[in-house]
Amino acid sequence: MTGYIERSASQIAEVLTREGLDYTQTKAVFKLARTKAGLHAPKEKRGSPARLTLEEELRFIDQAYASGGQTGLMMQVLLESGTRASEFTALRVEDISLAERLVTVTHGKGGKRREVSIRSKLAQLLALHIGKRKAGPLFVSRQSRQDGSAPVYTRQRIGQIVREVAKNAGITKRLYPHLLRHTMATRLLALGMDITDVQKFLGHEDLSSTRIYAETSLAMLKRKFDQVTQPQGQALIRSIAVTHGEVVGAFAADLLSGDRRNLT
């Protein structure tokens, strides 16, 4: 194999020299040649994405609301909608359908449009926030602009708010807007949402981008099994689900799975 590579390299070098191609041009030649030959670089294997635990998630949202009503609602929408920071900052009042409980991401990654379902409680909070407004940015920054237009949040500012809230909530792991998206994706899969539906929710073009969350979710569900299937665990989760709803009940199951103590 070594001799073959050396001979091939010598032949290619002879062609490149004869054609008088410089380094940049040779890069373009090799790229086009690989494309025509149907050669693609192997995808890198990624580890499980970081996410917030249920305890951290609740502390994060509580701290966000403690920082201010709008800050709390912003962080809750960012988390529960699974939007990217750039998609979140572009949201407008016109993108929210309170009756259908839908958030329309008009300019997703690659310019694609998608619709995201939200919980009825979040829709109620958004209704109070929107009030009688019919148009304009969903969240208006308090920083005024010289031209008098409604100031909108930037991706950088959203990232700063996420970090500030996390720090004040005592969350030590590195937190950034996309980690909230990871958290929601993993949670939806743990709740039983089909992976193709999660793919649509997140706006992933390639299903392989969503599968990494499924692998994390499977590991999480395996850890739950021994704890949740015990009678005491089942009774506790049913009680929480009846009182606070199925979503909170599933969150409680996640928290319970992290408790390795014997429940009997």
Q: Does residue 134 have an active-site annotation?
A: no
Q: Which of 101, 129, 157, 178 is catalytic?
A: 178
Q: Is 181 a catalytic residue?
A: yes
Catalytic residue among 51, 59, 181, 182: 181
Catalytic annotation on 167?
Answer: no
The catalytic position among 109, 114, 129, 223 is 109
DSSP assignments along the chain, one per residue: -HHHHHHHHHHHHHHHHHHT--HHHHHHHHHHHHHHTT--PPPPPP-PPP---HHHHHHHHHHHHHH-HHHHHHHHHHHHH---HHHHHT-BGGGEETTTTEEEESS-GGG--EEEE--HHHHHHHHHHHTT--SSBSSB-SS--TT-PPPB--HHHHHHHHHHHHHHTT--S---HHHHHHHHHHHHHHTT--HHHHHHHHT-SSTHHHHHHHHHHHHHHHHHHHHHTSHHHHHHHHHHHHHH-HHHHHHHHHHHHT--S---
Our answer to whether residue 142 is catalytic in this structure is no
Q: Out of 182, 187, 204, 224, which one is annotated catalytic?
A: 204
Annotated catalytic residue: which of 51, 59, 84, 224?
Answer: 84
Burial of 194 (0-12, 13-18, 19+ CB in 10 A): exposed
- The residues carrying an active-site annotation are 84, 109, 178, 181, 204, 213
